[in-house]
């Protein structure tokens, strides 16, 4: 039996597939011999022609990422570990001065975790929960 919300897990996978990960200019720590930068999530895709809830899902994804990366007790410990591995891979890539095929694998793993955590956060009422998460980010 299908329900009106059966499309959401796949929709969220497509949304997080449009997300890209890059390092900021903010350094972590004072060690200048091995600089380590903070990671952020961005998207360069144009979502103007897509339904409003897809754009809302993008903003909700950014909010979930912010919570995963946040200080203190882990919002989702498994997702935090995968995010940290991606950030470390991006930092190693910068130090090495080239691109690493491993970064793609880490990014894919984090996208999967992000979609999983996002679905867990909204599964009981997708449209309403997405709007709540997006609103939190935009305030």
Cα separation of 89 and 82, whole Å? 11
Nearest alpha-carbon partner for 133 in 37, 64, 46, 41 = 64
- What mean pLDDT value characterizes the chain? 85
End-to-end CA distance of the chain: 38
Q: Which residue has the higher pLDDT, 120 or 5?
A: 120
Cα separation of 98 and 17, whole Å? 23
The percent of residues in the chain predicted with pLDDT above 70, rounded, is 85
Nearest alpha-carbon partner for 94 in 42, 43, 36, 41 = 36
Q: Is residue 41 within 8 Å of 21, Cβ to Cβ?
A: yes
Cα separation of 85 and 104, whole Å? 12
Q: Which segment of 62-66, 71-75, 76-80, 125-129 scores lowest on mean pLDDT?
A: 71-75
Average pLDDT over residues 108-116: 96
pLDDT tens sequence across 11-59: 899 899 999 999 987 776 555 555 678 899 999 888 778 788 888 999 9
Highest mean pLDDT among 40-44, 68-72, 110-114: 110-114
Q: pTM of the entire structure? A: 0.84
Work out the angle between the directed axes of helices 126-138 and 101-122 (0-180°, nearest 10). Answer: 110
């Amino acid at each position: 039996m299908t329900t009106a919300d059966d499309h959401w897990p796949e929709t969220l996978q497509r949304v997080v597939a449009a997300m890209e990960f890059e390092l900021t200019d903010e350094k972590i720590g004072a060690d200048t011999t091995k600089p380590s930068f903070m990671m952020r999530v961005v998207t360069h895709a144009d979502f103007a022609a897509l339904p409003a809830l897809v754009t809302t899902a993008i903003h909700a994804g950014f909010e979930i990422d912010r919570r995963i990366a946040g200080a203190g007790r882990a919002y989702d410990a498994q997702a935090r570990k995968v995010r940290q591995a991606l950030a470390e891979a991006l930092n190693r890539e910068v130090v090495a001065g080239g691109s690493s095929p491993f970064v793609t694998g880490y990014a894919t793993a984090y996208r999967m975790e992000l979609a999983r955590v996002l679905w867990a956060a909204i599964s009981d009422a997708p449209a309403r929960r997405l709007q709540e998460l997006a609103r939190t980010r935009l305030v």
